[in-house]
Structure 1
Amino acid sequence: MAAKISSYLSHWTAYVPVVAVAALILTWGRDLPPPVVVLSALLLAGAVLAAVHHAEVVAHRVGEPFGSLVLAVAVTIIEVALIVTLMISGGEKSQSLARDTVFAAVMITCNGIVGLSLLVGALRRRFAVFNPEGTGGALAAVATIAALSLVLPSFTTSRPGPQFSPAQLGFAAVASLALYLLFVMVQTRRHRDYFLPITTAGKVIDTEEHVDPPPARTALVSVGLLLVALVAVVGLAKGVSPAVESGVASAGLPQSVVGVVIALLVLLPETIAAVRAAARDRIQTSLNLALGSAMASIGLTIPVIAVAMIWLPGPLLLGLGGTQMVLLALTVVVGTLTVVPGRANVLQAGIHLSLLAVFFFLAASP
């Protein structure tokens, strides 16, 4: 056992998070020259990939569908920390950062990760097969939370602009969190079988095949290294964010692109894990990761931001614009039509990926 753990710790995923944290300590609170920014970005990418590995180790230990929740919660921690950190230092231009990041996360997960997973599954086995009952419930929860937190603020009248009053924000935060926790209970306990992987042949997989779960001690080591990697990701992202913001401004792009960059960064682990699962004919696991992340991104982020607004100055702009509402509505409709049959081919994958491309284009050129 000791030999196995020693070998495990010699893997690059063990020392990269430690090196990244060391770099974070050395660069914290300093103006970084371009070479250091590039090095920090590389370490940031390495810490993200290490987080993927350790989250997958823990996920394999606890099994599905609990495993899908591990990455979702880890990603949400990164997202919330980045948003709050940038809102503290960003001033007026960061008032819509939470909205831009959460909406980008919804579009990337529901169109990008879903589309990639379906494409990989359909190309390898002609059809991507999944459970429509579990996936449909997850999509319904995402649509409800998104509408409550991102659409309604544009139509309420208690406050000018696309924002909630304090009472409305508190209600939306509690309702979103309650709905997310209800979904987690259904996914992990009451209807766990709805979220288990189904092979193309229709076989339900309750445990991973061919590979034994890692020992408990190995999983605990991965939990610790996952936490170290998350700290490194959040800290290094804060360090390189001024360069990202200045780059966005220099390119003449809208400030909302910063939210898209944050969402792309924090969702990289989910994307890699989902594509890997799809390649192993575990499309349900991929969809659990995608929709679970979208739900956690709203259901956990908005309540934390609502609490943080007690100390943060300025208003919190949550309501989407007309173009964004159209994209969200189209995503929900297309997602529903994809989910209902319980199987999808390259056409559905292409439609979702096309919607993601439209989102990226309109984010850069509104």
Structure 2
Amino acid sequence: MITRFRSLATRWTLLVPVLAIVLLVFTWGRGLPGAVVALVTLVLAGSVLAAVHHAEVVAHRVGEPFGSLVLAVAVTIIEVALIVTLMVDGGDKSATLARDTVFAAVMITCNGIVGICLLVGSLRHGTAVFNPEGTGAALATVATLATLSLVLPTFTTSKPGPEFSSVQLTFAAFSSLILYGLFVTTQTVRHRDYFLPVTKEGDPITGADHAAPPTARRAWISLGLLGLALVGVVGLAKGVSPTIESGVESAGLPPAVVGVIIALLVLLPETIAALRAARRDRVQTSLNLALGSAMASIGLTIPAVALASIWLTGPLVLGLGSTHMLLLALTVVVASLTVVPGRATPLQGGVHLVIFAAYLELALNP
């Protein structure tokens, strides 16, 4: 019975990405009635879960810390594609979409994912342990990227409004790529041990999984299906986005809620993967996923929208308002205090979750 259940689960994760692509072909660029929107939403959710499964297969094959990069980079590329696609279609109405989505990603990862993983890890295993050197380096990079890309545009004077001039936007784009490249090199080459899960005594765990890694053939198949699943996610999400936008508008909610919904949807695979790692007492893997996703979201999105701004006709508003800057500052301070000891209790997890809840409340009621 157990073998049959596992076989069914394997077939399900194989079929859903293919079904998502087929459904995408038949629905792309067409108005969707309510029943089709419901079907697309169901397949979209299935594609997200299938993406989690295949990303974990690939991550298990390549090991940490490379495994954490697989899902972070793949999902961020899809996020960038979705943002740019919606900005092309949205005109002036989408001027703040990149800012709203990137900031939502930072708050979701640095407070939502970090908070729930610290809470789960500490409740199940007494304390959540991780490497403060690697986690601190990741947090410092996220804080720098967020400040350069999302805070400085509010205070520059070369262009009216919270926007960068062309030269400033180019500098921000190249800085983002350089910092992200430096971090990936640090994480995977020069100081790889800083990003490995650790024991209660702080020793790196080199064999983080007890099960035998999948074969190379299975890993390659999962990598291909991961790509199909993520393409299906962004394509189907674009198909239902008009319904989401009209629903947000009819409910009288701020336009920034669209960015929150996009970020929540795109980051769902990483959230599930990070939670599973926390349950196995691999909190460092969870933090690698969370902070790596925040870093990739900024480091890849800003250069992409900077390049897209060449042919986009509308403005590109990147600067945060005072409320969001305050939340970002609070997040950086609290996260720094969380990282320094290298271990956390349920209290730290709860603090991050309260900050995330405050962000969601202010997104709905600014």
Q: Which residue of 1 aligns with 2:315?
A: 315
RMSD over aligned Cα, in angstroms? 1.1
Structure 1 CA distance for aligned equivalents of residues 302 and 337 of structure 2: 28
Structure 1 CA distance for aligned equivalents of residues 50 and 220 of structure 2: 15
What are the equivalent positions in structure 2 for 1:273-312 lying under 5 Å apart?
273-312=273-312
Q: Which residue of 2 aligns with 1:82?
A: 82
Cα deviation for residue 209 of structure 1 reads 3.0
Q: Which residue of 1 aligns with 2:332?
A: 332
Whether the 8 Å contact between 1:197 and 1:282 is mirrored in structure 2 is yes
Structure 1, unpaired ranges of 5+: 1-6
Cα deviation for residue 230 of structure 1 reads 1.3
What are the equivalent positions in structure 2 for 1:165-176 lying under 5 Å apart?
165-176=165-176
Q: Which residue of 1 aligns with 2:94?
A: 94
**Residue identity matched to 2:334:** V
Structure 1 CA distance for aligned equivalents of residues 31 and 135 of structure 2: 46
- In the superposition, the TM-score normalised over structure 2's length comes to 0.97
Q: Which residue of 2 aligns with 1:160?
A: 160
Cα deviation for residue 9 of structure 1 reads 9.6
Whether the 8 Å contact between 2:51 and 2:226 is mirrored in structure 1 is yes
What are the equivalent positions in structure 2 for 1:1-366 lying under 5 Å apart?
11-366=11-366
**Residue identity matched to 2:31:** D
Q: Measured at CA, do residues 351 and 10 of structure 1 come closer, stay the same or move farther in structure 2, by a change above 3 Å?
A: closer
Whether the 8 Å contact between 2:197 and 2:208 is mirrored in structure 1 is no
Cα deviation for residue 77 of structure 1 reads 1.2
Cα deviation for residue 207 of structure 1 reads 2.2
SS of 1:208's equivalent in the other structure is coil
Structure 1 CA distance for aligned equivalents of residues 287 and 234 of structure 2: 26
Structure 2 CA distance for aligned equivalents of residues 219 and 21 of structure 1: 20
Structure 2 CA distance for aligned equivalents of residues 10 and 342 of structure 1: 37
Q: Deviations over 1:179-231 (max 9, x none)?
A: 01000000001111000001335442112332111000000101111111111
Q: Deviations over 1:234-289 (max 9, x none)?
A: 11000000000000001100000000000000000110000000000000000000
Structure 2 CA distance for aligned equivalents of residues 230 and 67 of structure 1: 17
Cα deviation for residue 10 of structure 1 reads 5.2
Structure 2 CA distance for aligned equivalents of residues 10 and 50 of structure 1: 10
Structure 1 segments, 4+ long, off by >4 Å, are 7-10
Identity across aligned pairs (percent)? 72
Structure 2 CA distance for aligned equivalents of residues 8 and 247 of structure 1: 36
**Residue identity matched to 2:256:** S
Whether the 8 Å contact between 1:277 and 1:286 is mirrored in structure 2 is yes
Cα deviation for residue 75 of structure 1 reads 1.1
**Residue identity matched to 2:343:** R
Structure 2, unpaired ranges of 5+: 1-6
SS of 2:193's equivalent in the other structure is helix
Structure 2 CA distance for aligned equivalents of residues 208 and 150 of structure 1: 36
The count of corresponding residues between Structure 1 and Structure 2 is 360
**Residue identity matched to 1:186:** T
Structure 2 CA distance for aligned equivalents of residues 253 and 164 of structure 1: 27
Q: Deviations over 1:21-54 (max 9, x none)?
A: 1111111111101111111011011111111111
Whether the 8 Å contact between 2:60 and 2:67 is mirrored in structure 1 is yes
Structure 2 CA distance for aligned equivalents of residues 70 and 195 of structure 1: 15
Structure 2 CA distance for aligned equivalents of residues 197 and 64 of structure 1: 8
**Residue identity matched to 1:126:** G
Whether the 8 Å contact between 1:60 and 1:208 is mirrored in structure 2 is no
Structure 1 CA distance for aligned equivalents of residues 266 and 90 of structure 2: 19
Structure 2 CA distance for aligned equivalents of residues 199 and 95 of structure 1: 46
Q: Deviations over 1:125-147 (max 9, x none)?
A: 12100000100010000000000
Whether the 8 Å contact between 1:125 and 1:200 is mirrored in structure 2 is no
Structure 2 CA distance for aligned equivalents of residues 283 and 348 of structure 1: 13
**Residue identity matched to 2:221:** V
SS of 1:267's equivalent in the other structure is helix
Moved more, 240-249 or 223-232: 223-232
Whether the 8 Å contact between 2:60 and 2:209 is mirrored in structure 1 is no
- In the superposition, the TM-score normalised over structure 1's length comes to 0.97
Cα deviation for residue 68 of structure 1 reads 0.4
SS of 2:156's equivalent in the other structure is coil
Q: Measured at CA, do residues 9 and 280 of structure 1 come closer, stay the same or move farther in structure 2, by a change above 3 Å?
A: closer
Q: Measured at CA, do residues 58 and 151 of structure 1 come closer, stay the same or move farther in structure 2, by a change above 3 Å?
A: same
Whether the 8 Å contact between 2:120 and 2:275 is mirrored in structure 1 is yes
SS of 1:341's equivalent in the other structure is coil
Moved more, 225-234 or 328-337: 225-234
Structure 1 CA distance for aligned equivalents of residues 300 and 274 of structure 2: 21
